[in-house]
Structure formats: structure tokens, C-alpha cells
A and B are shown apart, each in its own frame.
Chain A
Amino acid sequence: MRAVTTRIASRVAASAAVAGTLVPASVYAAGAVDGAVQKQATNVEAIVMFLVFVLFTLGITYWAARRTKSAKDFYAAGGGITGFQNGLAIAGDYMSAASFLGIAGLVYANGFDGLIYSVGFLVGWPIVLFLIAERLRNLGKYTFADVASYRFKQTPIRTLSACGSLATVTFYLIAQMVGAGKLIQLLFGLDYMVAVIIVGVLMIGYVTFGGMLATTWVQIIKAVLLLSGASFMAFMILAKFGFSPEAMFKAAVDVHPKGVAIMSPGAFVSDPVDTISLGLTLMFGTAGLPHILMRFFTVSDAKEARKSVFYATGFIGYFYILTFIIGFGAIVLILGKDANGAYPFLTAAPAEGVKAAVASVIGGTNMAAIHTAHAVGGDLFFGFISAVAFATILAVVAGLTLAGASAVSHDLYASVFARGRVNEADEIRVSKITTVVIGIVSIVLGIAFENQNVAFMVGLAFAIAASTNFPILLMSMFWGKMTTRGAVMGGAIGLISACVMIALGPTVWKAVLGHPTAIIGYANPGVFSIILAFVGIWFFSITDNSAQAQKERRDFEDQYVRSQTGLGAEGASAH
């Protein structure tokens, strides 16, 4: 243990906090690793394990490439993924590296408050199941814009949906790339630029050659690795306390500087409006993320789509309970003395009789889960968890890139630009070219944003998904009176209001642009921008009496029957 601890101390010492991301907006699923970090000593175990993962997934990509021939194969894995597999893949898409490190770090720093965020991330899933999943599966083909534009004028709705998708994907990708570069620098001792290029090149490889089939399997493997690693950690932590949560909480209260306050909600969630707004954004943003919605077209029918959400909810909920245990374990293992009476994971041991400060953890609070892995499983397990963190980033960016490429090739190129007169081979070619372009752009942006504060970008991605994609999608399926004009105006209002309010709010105006106070006091615009979008859709639809609008209203019944029964829905391809 001594050798281990000295090594990690040297590895991460002197690095300015990886984290410092503990403002609400940055706790979004992907989060971002903030602040400058220094390159660390090369972590051989982690690199070897990561290489094994890469070789294995490239093998899968080769296998998938040989089975990916049609557009349906490329976008939707031929529709042949089972509900259980898709549930794992959805969970994989959702459990990003930073939601693992970020939420565990949040629990380590604040205790109970971490649970509030976990709950927020989870409760969107039942809503997706009850209101969206089966209708989406019955109506759509490859992208959510298929559903949103079902009975409307293709050009405006597809264009707006593609903009919504690309905006969501781009902000999410930048945050992931910057986080990836910093995390890998810290865990593996690789150069920031090298790390970003590796992530970009591998993701281009998976998506271009293996399409959705390879992306899905990369996601499934990563989900299994992450869930296994986190389960092992939680098991080892609980074992230390004879599997008594009470004993664990007691030990944590004894060493945490906030004492018994970590057992109740703190000041972290202070403004009820902002909290409710965050809750709404998380809930409806989940139901508007293009890379997640796309997953519903990989299963054969509505039945499997429902099962996917059931399994995904189970895995994600289980994962959040694990991160909660890991966060409390981190308090005891990091802030308390080890068997030798030392504090191996702190920059300096606290004075006698004084509790260690939370922020004195080496590498910042987002490193709490990584240190805990080291403490419970030694060097080898530390290497494993580092490799899993890298794999996690890779899987998430691959899913995002495929969603972005589909928005361009299927929505913009095939439906808007070529007006449906396009053959499959051309459409797939455009999709692959777009994948390469998105890959290169995200490498460039990842490098350009290295020293920028990107924590707000995931919040922005969720806000756009919740205020543009989700309202159009939901209303197109539920409200027969919606028209093209209503959808476009409402969606645009949601998009603009979410972007403007975030730009003028504390996360950008104050934290990024450095103004002393924010113009808008709320960090989460959701409650306003979502309502504005719905009101916009309603108002511009009911006032629309054009011939086109009349026709769109008449067409609702056909769509309604198909959404309810699956009559005429896309099936699985035969292989």
C-alpha cells in the first residue's frame, strides 16, 4: 500500500484540481473536467488494459463492418438489437465518465446532496417510457426527426430538428473531448493533444466502419465494465463496514469536516426555482437527446423498445446507488487515516486534532472515485478503473458522432437537400464523410477549448434538447392540431430562449465571461424556455389556417393509428 500511495501521490500531486466543477450546471451527465492539469507519470497498467479494450472493440468493428450494408444497418444496426442489449447500451450512453467521477465527487464533498442529482438524472426515464418510447418506435425509422416531421412539411421541420440535434451533439462533444483530454492526461500520463487525437481517431473508426452495430457493442461492453468496476468498489467499501450502511455513514460523519451535515440536504440546492428548473431540464432533456432517441430504432418493435427502457432504468438507478456508496466510501478512505496512520490521498496531512479539508484531496474532488479504486483494489484495479474511464469517454463520443452524422445525412442531405430522391449508398457515403468531418472538427475544438471553461456546455446541450427537440417531438405525437408553422416557431423560440438565458446567466456571463454579476439570476433556464416553447407551438398552430395546416390536421389520424398500433411500422431487417 505504501508504494501504491507514494506513486499516486507523485502522479497527481501538483496538478491543479481536475475538478472544481461542483457548480450545478456541471453535474450534468457528461460534466467536464475543469481547470489546468499537469501531465503525470505514465500509467502502464491502465494503458495495457485500455489497449486490450481497443483491440477487442476494433475486432467487433471489423465484425460489424461486414454485416453493415444497408442504410438500416448503418443507422439502426438492422433493427436487430434486443431490448436487454439496448437497455445496456442506453445505460452506457448515459453513464459517462464524468457522471461517474462527478457524482461520486459530489457525494464526497457534500454527502446527501449528491443523491439529489442522481435522482434528477434518473426520473426522466419512466417518462420516456410512458409517453415516448413506443410511439417513437412505431413512427420512426432512423432519427427522431422522422417522427417530428411525420405529417409536416419536411424541409422546415427536418432543418430545425437537425439544428437542434447538431447543437446538442456539438456542445456535448466539446465537453466530452476537453474532459477526455484532461482526464487521460491525469490518469494515463499522455499528452492532452495525443489523448484528444486518440479519442477522435478511434471514434471515427468505430462509426465509419461499424455504424450503429459497432457503436452499440462498444457501448454495451463499456457499460458492463463500468457496472462491474463500480459494483466491486461498492462491495469492498460495504465489506469494510460489515455491510452496515449505518456504520459507513457513522465513519463518514466522524471524519468529514461538515460532520453530521453531510447526512441532510445542504445549502447546495438553495433556490427552489433553480432546482425545479434543473429537474425539468434533466427530465425532458433526457427525452430529447438525439443519440439516446436514436437507440429506439435499433430494436425490432415497440415491445422491445419498452423493455429497453425498463432495463436501462434499472441499470442507471443501480449505478447511481453505487456512486452514492462510493462517494461515502471516498469520505472515509480519503479523509480518514489509513492502516498506517497516514493520509495517502491528501496533498498534506491535517494538523493533529483537526479534520482534513475536503479540497485537500490530490487532483481535486472529481478524483475521489479514482483514489477510492486505488484504496480498495490496489494498482491493478486503479489501472482498470482508469482504462474504464477512457473507454467510457470513447463509447459516449461514438454515440454522439453517429447521431450528429445521421442528422446531416438522413435529415439534411437525403430529406431536405435531395428531397428524398437519393439512393441508400449515397446517403451512407454522406454519413461516413460527415462522421470524419465531425471527428476532425471535434479534435480541433477539443484542442482549441483546452484552457476554456466548458462546464456550461453540457447544461446547454440538455437545455436545448429539453426546449427544442422534446417539445416538437412530444406535441407532434400527442397534439393533432399542431402545424408546421407552430412546430418551427415554438422550437425556434425554445432554442433561442434557452441559449440566450444561459449566455446571460451565471454559468456563462459570470463564470466564463468574467462579469461581476449575471444579468439573469438562474443557472437553469429550463422552466422558462420549455414553457415558452410549448406556448409558442400552441399559439402559432391555432392561429394557422392555411391549406397546408388543414391537411396536416387531417393527416393526424393516420399517424395516430400507426403510433398506437405499429401498423406499417419499420420492422427488423432479415439477417
Chain B
Amino acid sequence: MNQNAQRIVNNPKFQELVAKRSAFAWTLSIAMLVIYFGFILLVAFGKEFLGTPIGSGVTTWGMPIGVFTILSAFILTGIYVQRANGEFDELNRQILEETK
């Protein structure tokens, strides 16, 4: 094994980075899957609910829920990039610095 790589693996900061980042990435992935498949299951089994008008108009609950699903994809990517490009990259920079 490459020596630098060995030193990085032994660095507790690397363990911290990997643990934090993967927990975060998987949490957000699961959130996206739950939102998306929740929407698909509503489409398959909850047609009446999605077709219920909001108040007295013709706009149904399906509309804001669909748009919310689209927005949630964007918001979740934003949350990840915010933390990964800040906190995680800083930690990563320190790890690479200490390996030199």
C-alpha cells in the first residue's frame, strides 16, 4: 500500500471525515428516495388524495406535492454542497496537509 495512503488511513481526522460524510450522504440519499417513492406510491395508490381540490378551487393537492418533490431535489443538493464544500473540504485540506 502507498505510504501516504497508509498515513491518511491512520489519521483519526480521516476516519472522522469519512464517517461524517458518508452518514450525511446516505441520510440525504434516503431522504430523496423516501420523498420520491412516497410520491410514486401516492400516484399508484393514493389517486383520490392527490386529486382532492385545495379549498374551493380546481387546484389539487397533487400540484403542490409534485412541485415540492422537484424543489426538494434542489434543496437537498444545496444542503449537501453547502456542508461538503465548507466543513468537509476544510477537514480534507487538513488531512492532506498533515500527510505532506
Contact = CB atoms under 8 A, between A and B. Distances in A.
- On whether the two chains bind one another, the answer is yes
Interface of A: 112, 115-116, 118-120, 122-123, 125-127, 129-131, 134, 245-246, 249-250, 253, 260, 263-265, 269, 272, 275-276, 279, 283, 302-303, 306-307, 309-310, 313-314, 317, 320-321, 554, 557-558, 561-562, 564-567
Contact of B92 (A127, A130, A260, A566): A566
Name the residue among B32, B35, B77 with the largest chain A CB count within 10 angstroms.
B77
Main secondary structure of the interface of B (DSSP, over half): helix
Given A116-B43, A122-B70, A561-B9, A260 B58 contact: yes
Interface string B32-68: 1101110111011101001101000111101100110
B69 A119 contact: yes
Contacts of A554: 1
A250 B5 contact: no
Interface of B: 1-2, 4-5, 8-9, 14, 17-18, 21, 25-26, 28-29, 32-33, 35-37, 39-41, 43-45, 47, 50-51, 53, 57-60, 62-63, 66-67, 69-71, 73-74, 76-78, 80-81, 84-85, 89, 92, 95-96, 99
Given A122-B70, A567-B4, A310 B59 contact: no
A310 B60 contact: no
A130 B29 CA distance: 7
The 10 nearest A-B residue pairs measured at CB = A264-B51, A272-B44, A130-B25, A115-B66, A561-B5, A123-B36, A263-B60, A310-B81, A130-B29, A126-B32
Contacts of A313: 73-74, 77
Given A309-B77, A314-B74, A321-B67, A567 B58 contact: no
Nearest to B28: A130
A125 B74 CA distance: 9
Contacts of B89: 302-303
B57 A250 contact: yes
Nearest to B48: A264
B85 A306 contact: yes
B24 to A, nearest CB: 8
B8 to A, nearest CB: 5
Nearest to B32: A126
Contacts of B2: 558, 561
A279 B29 contact: no
A302 B35 CA distance: 27
A91 to B, nearest CB: 12
Contacts of A272: 41, 44-45
Contacts of B99: 567
Nearest to A556: B1
A317 B74 contact: yes
Given A115-B66, A279-B36, A310-B78, A557 B9 contact: yes
B70 A263 contact: no
A499 to B, nearest CB: 25
Contact of B29 (A112, A131, A275, A557): A131
Contact of A269 (B4, B14, B44): B44
A139 B25 CA distance: 18
Nearest to A270: B44
A130 B50 CA distance: 29
A321 B64 CA distance: 11
Given A112-B50, A126-B28, 11 more contacts: A115-B63, A116-B66, A119-B66, A245-B59, A249-B63, A265-B50, A275-B44, A283-B36, A313-B74, A564-B21, A565-B14
A125 B73 CA distance: 8
Contacts of B60: 112, 263-264
20 contacts: A112-B63, A116-B40, A118-B70, A119-B69, A246-B57, A250-B58, A275-B40, A302-B89, A307-B85, A313-B73, A313-B74, A321-B70, A554-B1, A557-B1, A561-B8, A562-B5, A565-B17, A565-B92, A565-B96, A567-B96
Name the residue among B8, B29, B33, B74 with the largest chain A CB count within 10 angstroms.
B74
Contacts of B25: 130-131
A306 B81 contact: yes
Given A126-B32, A130-B29, A260-B58, A565 B85 contact: no
Contact of B8 (A253, A263, A567): A567
Nearest to A554: B1
A406 B1 CA distance: 31
Given A272-B45, A321-B70, A564-B17, A279 B40 contact: yes
A123 B76 CA distance: 10
Contact of A317 (B33, B35, B57, B71): B71
A126 B51 CA distance: 28
A565 B16 CA distance: 12
B9 A317 contact: no
A264 B50 contact: yes
A120 B78 CA distance: 19
A130 B76 CA distance: 9
Name the residue among B9, B21, B60, B95 with the largest chain A CB count within 10 angstroms.
B60
B70 to A, nearest CB: 5
